[in-house]
Amino acid sequence: MTDSLSARHRKIIEAVRAIPRGRVSSYGQVAQRAGLPGRARLVGKVLRDLDEGQKVPWHRVVRAGGGLAFPPDSEAYAEQVQRLQRDGVNVVRGRVPRLHWEPIDDMDAQIWGQPF
């Protein structure tokens, strides 16, 4: 009843919701954090099927390398840029600067610490 979504989908949603404001993560990283290494495409599918009432910060998920997953002339692209800027994340030439990427390991976290 309540769960028309599989457990994997929920883990992915949680992983996306866990991305802090001012930071972005990649599809692959979200998949890994959800315990689904190699399922980046699945993450994309889940995000695509999101409802508006889900309250998921989908805009904080970008491609590996920091680029947005939408064509620059699309509305989705424009909206993602808007939302990111509202988060304090600047988008330069279609991609998010490194400082906003989620640290991969503890050492990175120690070096970079907080993005601001």
Using the rule CB under 7 A, is 103 a contact of DNA?
A: no
40-48, 84-92, 105-113 -> range binding DNA (CB under 7 A): 40-48
Using the rule CB under 7 A, is 58 a contact of DNA?
A: yes
Q: Which is nearer to DNA, 56 or 115 (CB)?
A: 56
> Which stretch of DSSP H or E encloses residue 7?
helix 7-17
Is residue 32 helix, strand or coil?
helix
Residue 43 contacts residue 61 (beta carbons within 8 Å): yes
Q: Which tokens sit at 34?
A: 């959800």
Number of amino acids touching DNA (CB under 7 A): 26
Which residues in 61-100 contact DNA (CB under 7 A)? 61, 63-65, 69-70, 76, 80
Which residue from 57, 72, 71, 49 is spatially nearest to 102, judged by alpha carbons? Answer: 57
22-30, 84-92, 105-113 -> range binding DNA (CB under 7 A): 22-30
